[in-house]
Every structure is written in structure tokens, then in C-alpha cells.
Amino acid sequence: MSVVPTPAPPPTLPLGAGARAEREVSVHVVGPDGDVEGARVCAARTGGRESCATSGSSGRASLAIVPGTYAVRAVPARGARLAEGVATVEVVETTEIVVSVQGRGTVSGGVRDVDGRAVAGAEACAHGLSPLELRCARSDGEGRYRVEVQPGLQKVEVSGPPGSRLLTQWATGRMGSFEADVIDTRREDATGVDVVLRAGVALTGVITAARDGSPVEEAQVCTYPHRAPLGWDCELTDERGRYAVLREPDVYWVWVIPPEKRGSRLVYQRHDRVQEGVDATPFELFQDRTLDVALTEGPLLHGRVTATDGAPVVLALVCLDTPFPTGRICRSTGDDGSYEIATRPQTYVVNVYPPEGSEVIAGFWPDAARDWTAAGEVRVGPADRRLDIVLPRGVRLSGVVRDARGSPVEGATVNVNDATGPRFFGSTNAEGRYSISVLPGDYTVDVFSPRYLYSLSVMGQPLSVTGETGYEVVLPDAEAQD
């Protein structure tokens, strides 16, 4: 009988020859306000076991792991209003790993229609103070939504599910961002931000060129409520000239604006087939309707916008209207400062708005006046008219307008006045910021609260401008002054 020898056990390798020793690593969890206590910290690598610990009062947790590549995750304690954080690190000689976690808040509420029925699949979007802070979520079968946000200030926009014909609404009961409520999630989550969506009616049609019947792509079809000063709301035509707008049942002014296309002579048109607002006819839209529009052609006002040193002013807006407004039309300047505006034969006042952040100064032309009453007039048509414009340079006056709570104020008007009256003008954006180019000098500043806000305007504040100047304003609460 043969005997099979028993295999000898493998030799014991010295530490480091095949096995790797664990290394003590400190993980530091840091949030917006500093060290994060009570976070669950785990380090894991592919094919390896997970090692976990909890951060102490210093925000640090100690892990014993072997060298390698790890995903280190920090999960803040329940109720901490902090999001999870992850860091991918190569542990070789590293003895400390930092994991950053961002703040986390929520905005939640319900979406219903006017009959009280829950709206499932509606999209609720929380707009932060910058475009990068947009967060959205869909409502569930009970119409409830919950949007995770970074703690801060938000405005909430809710749109109906595709095909629902429900009108977009801003919380609470607002038609646009400029008048939407500012929701504060800096210290606690916002709950009960409920929205009621109303059903709309459709206005559809085709925009063509009257000359040859060709479709007009990217024309704007704009409506303005006859009885409410809500501003123009516009939609673009597609490649076949078709458009569809969804509106609340009402009576509207309708305005079709041709696309901004060099060489085009198509002229804007009001309903019903007129070019001046004073001649327009209100359009009743209480049920679905169709409106086709054929655009005619007109002469061009054209030229070039430069600064005093000859540099072209790019992306300035050149706007024209009659002295008694009948419908302002604006076109932007190109890379060489040139512009073209097709219009009807008429006498106009021309207003130029520099691009945001520019140091050139706005004005009325052809006489570089501070307001339209002193600007002189520009006659256009029946032949084309050239008007070159030279804008003076100034210095920037900029800042932020907030209300008494610290929320940015959108749509505030900023007037900079010299001894003779208002001289320079601006308005605030969604972040409450404004920027105006002015000439150096001594001024008073008026900041007018928008009509929707329960804040007082701030008037007559003295300001000396010698160079680039910052000027921030807090509008007092109207109720606090009673």
C-alpha cells in the first residue's frame, strides 16, 4: 500500500512580504459650520471589508485599514440637516482624510387643482440664489412633493405634468419669479408650501412671411393680459412656424415679434394686423383658439455702437419706440457692434442699454441725452436709415438690495440722481443684484420697492462716486413702521 505524503503547510511570511499591516487613519468630517459630530464614517474598497466608526466632538473618527484605494463615506446623524459626503482616497502614507458634507434642507408641500384634486407627476423646482442651485422633484400619487435643497433662500415654481394643460405657478399664488414668495430654509425646513394649479386654454397657429408664405422660425408670440399688469409672456415658433401657448382664460393683447436675424425685414405685428399698440384689438381667449399671422416687411434702422475709444460695444440692446410708447422693439449688437432693426416708417426715439457689467453708459439718441424728452427724433422710412452711436465710458456702481429679513429683492428700481434729477437707472435681478455705469460725481440714490413687496422704498441717500463703488441697501419692513 502506497502512502500519499501530507502536504506541508505554507511557510509563515514575515509581515510585509505578502500581507499588509493595517494603518490607523483619522477621518475628519467637516460641514458648512465646521466639525460634524455624530456622523457615521465608513471606508470601503473593492473586494474588502468595510471599516466604520462615529465622529466625535472634534468631527474626527479613527479607522484601522490596510493601504489601498478607498471610498470614505460620512453619513451625518439624523436631524443634522446635512447631506452625505464621499471622498475617494489612496491610503499609502496618508494618516488623515477630510470628508466635506454640504448642508441639506427640504421644501415640501402639496399640489392640487382648483377642484381640490391631487396632481400627481407635477414638477416642483426650488430656485436658489444662483442658477446652479436649482433642485426639482415630482409630486407623488397624493400630490405631495419634497425637494432637497441647500439651506438658504429659495423660490418655488410648480409645473403640471406633461399634457395636463395646467398652468405653471410660483408659490404662493404668484405668476412669476419677480413676485414669488421667498422661502427661508436657512434654519429649518419649509413645509406646507402648497400650490393650486389652474387649467389653461391653448392659442395655436402658424407665423409666416407675407411676401412668399414661408414659415418664420423663432418668432416670438407674446400675450399680455388686458386687465392685469403682469407683463408680456412669450413663446417661440418651431421650424414650421408653428406655435402653441397655454394661458389662463382671459382677454389678451397679442404681439408677434420676428426673430433677430440679420438681413430680415420682417416687421413686428399686433393683433389685428396693425403695427402700433394704440391700434391693437384685444383678443378673447376663453376657449382653445387659432390665430395665424403673416408678417409684412419694412425699412431698416441700422448702424454701429462703439465706445468713445472706438471699441465695439457687443451685446448692447438698441431699442426704439415712439415718444408716446406704442411698442418698444429692441435688437442686440453683434461682435463688431453693428445692429439692425426692421420697423414701420415712423419717427422714433432710440434708447441704448449696455450689456451687463459694461462700463459704457446708457443714453437716448441721436443727441446722447439723459432722457427721451431731450433726445431728439430719428425718422425711419420709407428708405433705410443709418444711425451710428458712440457711448461714453463711466465707472460701475453695484450692490445688492435686500429686505428686512435679508432676502434679496428682485425687481427693485435703482435711480441715481444728480442736482437736476434722475440721471442713471438700473434694476435688481433674481439675486437682488444691480450694476449701473455712472459718471464720477456726487449723487443721491433712490431705491424703489417693487409693488408686490411689503417693504418701504429708500429715498435720497447721498453717495459720492469717484471710482468703482459698492452700495448695498436694506428696504425697511412696511409693517414695522406702523
Decide if 266 contacts 216 (C-beta within 8 A). yes
Mean pLDDT of all residues in 183-207: 94
Q: For residue 8, is pLDDT > 90?
A: no
In CATH terms, 300-391 corresponds, of 2.60.40.1120, 2.40.30.30, 2.60.120.260, 3.30.1330.40, to 2.60.40.1120
Decide if 59 contacts 28 (C-beta within 8 A). yes
Q: For residue 175, is pLDDT > 60?
A: yes
10 Å CB burial of residue 436 (0-12, 13-18, 19+) is buried
Q: What are phi and psi of 337, to 5 degrees?
A: 80, 5
pLDDT reported for residue 480: 63
CATH-assigned architecture of domain 396-481 = Sandwich (2.60)
pLDDT reported for residue 17: 43
pLDDT reported for residue 212: 96
Q: For residue 2, is pLDDT > 50?
A: no
10 Å CB burial of residue 2 (0-12, 13-18, 19+) is exposed
pLDDT reported for residue 68: 86
CATH T-level fold of 203-295: Immunoglobulin-like (2.60.40)
Mean pLDDT of all residues in 315-334: 89
The per-residue pLDDT for range 50-84, each reduced to its tens digit, is 899 999 999 999 999 888 889 999 999 988 899 99
The per-residue pLDDT for range 206-238, each reduced to its tens digit, is 999 999 999 999 999 999 998 776 678 999 999
Instruction: Dig out the grid coordinates for 173 from the structure.
Output: 399664488
pLDDT mean across residues, the chain: 89
CA distance 143 to 428: 34
Give the class (CATH, top level) of 23-100.
mainly beta
CA distance 396 to 374: 25
Partners of residue 156 on adjacent β-strands: 126
- Helix, strand, coil percent values for the chain (each to nearest 5): 5, 50, 50
Examine domains 105-197 and 203-295 and report if their fold is the same.
Answer: yes
Mean pLDDT of all residues in 283-293: 97
- Amino acid 178 reads F
> Could you state, in order of their start, the residue ranges of all structural domains in the chain?
23-100, 105-197, 203-295, 300-391, 396-481
Q: For residue 9, is pLDDT > 60?
A: no
CATH T-level fold of 105-197: Immunoglobulin-like (2.60.40)
94 CA to centre of own chain: 42
Q: What percent of the chain has pLDDT over 70?
A: 94
